[in-house]
Amino acid sequence: MSNKNPKAQYFTGVRAGIPVILGFVPVGIAYAIMARQAGFSAFETVFMSIAVFAGASQMMAVGMYVQGASIIAMILATFILNLRHLIMSTCVVNRMKNEPTKRKLLATFGVTDESFAIFTTEKKENCSGLYFLGLITVTYSSWIAGSAIGAIASDFLPAIVTASLGIALYAMFIGILIPNLTHNLKLGLLVVLTAVCNSILTQLMASSWALILSTLVCAAIGVFFVDLDGQEVADDEH
């Protein structure tokens, strides 16, 4: 627990989250434009960001909606994609010693890949609940702000601009993948295998179910061959 006063703890977290704004706002705008083009109202678009707060899942859900996927398929796909949040939330809560339960519950809602990375690499003395709340205040508000800007701007931006923003989804996934792939050959091969598996299954079934099945199969393979620390599991046995 930090020895700083509560106000200092909170604003230390706020300062730590400021760089995330540069990523969250543009991607939030891209998500909102995608949602509006898919037929969502401005209210529905922003409300999804308020209630869900998971950019990759929201973009995937919108994409599956456009493809005509069933509600069950969308729920399953987003559930699988967000399973990692169970692990990340557990790690975050474990670093919050002697914090009130309400604060821990609130913190778990705000866990994202970015806030998790910042919090778990922060000095242990700064890892308080108030620090994390300050951090997610910035990430949450910037995501909603980006969504609101995109929902409004979609009515005024030229079609060529709104169409080009769709690449933000792919850029975001590449940005998440590349740092991990550079030190882990087997993880890179697993990503390629997943893409190939999805491409094949798409020819045999609905694309939404192909995505779910290829994710499950390749994730199961990854459990046995890929270590989360970036080293192949087989190497740890020597």
At 87 the pLDDT is 78
Number of other residues whose CB lies within 10 A of the CB of residue 64: 22
Claim to verify: residue 92 and residue 192 sit in the same structural domain: no
At 230 the pLDDT is 44
Claim to verify: residue 103 and residue 160 sit in the same structural domain: yes
At 180 the pLDDT is 61
How crowded is the C-beta side of 228, counted as CA atoms within 13 Å? 5
The domain of 30 spans 6-178
Claim to verify: residue 151 and residue 196 sit in the same structural domain: no
Distance between terminal CA atoms of the chain? 38
At 5 the pLDDT is 86
At 231 the pLDDT is 44
At 46 the pLDDT is 96
Pairwise CA distance, residues 132 & 12, whole Å: 9
Claim to verify: residue 136 and residue 221 sit in the same structural domain: no
Instruction: Count the domains in the chain.
Output: 2
> Does residue 41 form part of some domain?
yes
Angular region, 41: left φ>0, alpha ψ -120 to 50, beta rest: beta
Whole-model pTM? 0.72
Claim to verify: residue 26 and residue 74 sit in the same structural domain: yes
At 41 the pLDDT is 93
At 4 the pLDDT is 67
> Does residue 71 form part of some domain?
yes
Claim to verify: residue 104 and residue 30 sit in the same structural domain: yes
Pairwise CA distance, residues 39 & 209, whole Å: 22
Claim to verify: residue 140 and residue 34 sit in the same structural domain: yes
> Does residue 1 form part of some domain?
no
Domain boundary residue among 144, 163, 178? Answer: 178
Claim to verify: residue 18 and residue 96 sit in the same structural domain: yes
Claim to verify: residue 212 and residue 99 sit in the same structural domain: no
pLDDT along the chain (238 residues), means of 10: 74 89 86 90 95 88 86 85 81 84 89 84 79 93 95 82 66 65 76 88 81 80 66 42
Claim to verify: residue 92 and residue 44 sit in the same structural domain: yes
